[in-house]
Amino acid sequence: MSRVIIINLIRFVLLVFLQVFLLKNIALYNLSTPYLYILFILLLPFEIPNVLLFALAFILGLTIDAFYDTPGLHAASCVLLALVRILFISVTVQKDGFDNEPEPTLSIMGFRWFFSYALILTLFHHFFLFNLEVFRFSELEYTLTRFLLSSIFTVFLMLVSGLLFFRKKERK
């Protein structure tokens, strides 16, 4: 097996395990729940084919749905996240730069790019997930509060994990 496949397989298992057995039980006043598992989709290599990206996002979402008893909510949110990822990368990263930067990590792309990447994609994922979960206007204020606080908490955890595994690399 290729080194990239092994790394991403370990990342998948580790993030699902962390989400299901640790982060599922963390909810700050029932307003903020971190969904760190989406980091798997964010850290996939730039050159991954779109069909494979959508398939992996769907499998990741279904795996989380199986543990959360939410049939299809996370799967739909992850597929939307994959679509927004494709659009964001096509707008912000030059096509000829893919050879120099194999994957969108904090150490490779830099703090400012990774922060905006993680923030925008997390906001899309969480907004869709929480609105699909509630699906009524009567709880709009509560849903928006959960969406914003959970997004901040998730991005904070992404940055902390990115800094913990930070390796100084030069961008070419």
Q: pTM to 2 decimals?
A: 0.89
Inside any domain, residue 170: no
Q: What is the domain extent for residue 56? A: 3-164
Residue 154 has pLDDT above 70, yes or no: yes
Question: What is the number of domains present in the chain?
Answer: 1
pLDDT score for 96? 56
Cα→Cα distances 68→7, 21, 101, 117, Å: 25, 11, 35, 26
Cα→Cα distances 139→17, 32, 50, 133, 154, Å: 31, 16, 35, 11, 22
Cα→Cα distances 6→2, 12, 104, 108, 160, Å: 6, 10, 17, 20, 23
Neighbours of 134 (CB within 10 A): 15
Name the CA dihedral angle for 81, 83, 86, 90, rounded to a multiple of 10 degrees.
Answer: -120
Inside any domain, residue 171: no
Rounded to whole angstroms, the Cα distance separating 171 from 86 reads 21
Inside any domain, residue 136: yes
Inside any domain, residue 121: yes
Confidence band of 1 (pLDDT split at 50, 70, 90): low
Inside any domain, residue 169: no
pLDDT, tens digit (0-9, with 9 covering 90-100), for 17-70: 999 999 988 888 888 999 999 999 999 998 899 999 999 999 999 999 999 999
Inside any domain, residue 29: yes
Inside any domain, residue 76: yes
The phi-psi region of residue 73 (left if phi > 0; otherwise alpha if psi is between -120 and 50; otherwise beta) is alpha
What single-letter DSSP state applies at residue 32? B
More confident residue, 139 or 129: 129
Residues whose CB falls within 8 Å of the CB of residue 130, separated by 6 or more in sequence, listed in order: 143, 146, 147, 150
Rounded to whole angstroms, the Cα distance separating 58 from 170 reads 33
Inside any domain, residue 172: no
